[in-house]
């Protein structure tokens, strides 16, 4: 059976549904992972004798990079995801 590709309008409801799918997962993983990563980095750098300000700067930067990577991971994961009325796909253009 031939499958016909249909496009649908990107409504605000669909945009919010996609955003929410990505947002809560990214937030949860980034918060838990960021806490654990920051804790481990803080302990290791503290033992190494690094001062608190530098620990905060390093942890903040690494936390930002981690949060970015988590968000990109979930953006990649949503491609091909089947929702109730639509699927997110990539179409090749020429």
pLDDT score for 2: 54
pTM above 0.85, yes or no: no
Q: Alpha-carbon distance 71 to 48, whole Å?
A: 31
Residue spans of the domains in the chain: they are: 12-78
Residues in CB range of 75: below 8 A, 6 or more apart: 22
pLDDT for 89 beyond 80: yes
Here the tokens at position 44 are 């290791």
* Average pLDDT of the segment spanning 50-75: 91
Sorting pLDDT into bands at 50, 70 and 90, what band is 6?
confident
Sorting pLDDT into bands at 50, 70 and 90, what band is 90?
confident
pLDDT score for 85: 85
């Amino acid at each position: 059976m031939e499958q016909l590709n249909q496009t649908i309008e990107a409504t605000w409801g669909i945009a919010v549904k996609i955003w929410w799918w990505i947002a809560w997962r990214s937030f949860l993983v980034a918060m838990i992972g960021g806490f654990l990563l920051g804790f481990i980095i803080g302990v290791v750098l503290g033992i190494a004798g690094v001062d608190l300000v530098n620990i905060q700067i390093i942890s903040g930067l690494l936390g930002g990079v981690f949060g970015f990577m988590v968000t990109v991971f979930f953006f990649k994961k949503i491609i091909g995801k089947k929702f109730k009325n639509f699927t997110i796909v990539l179409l090749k253009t020429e």
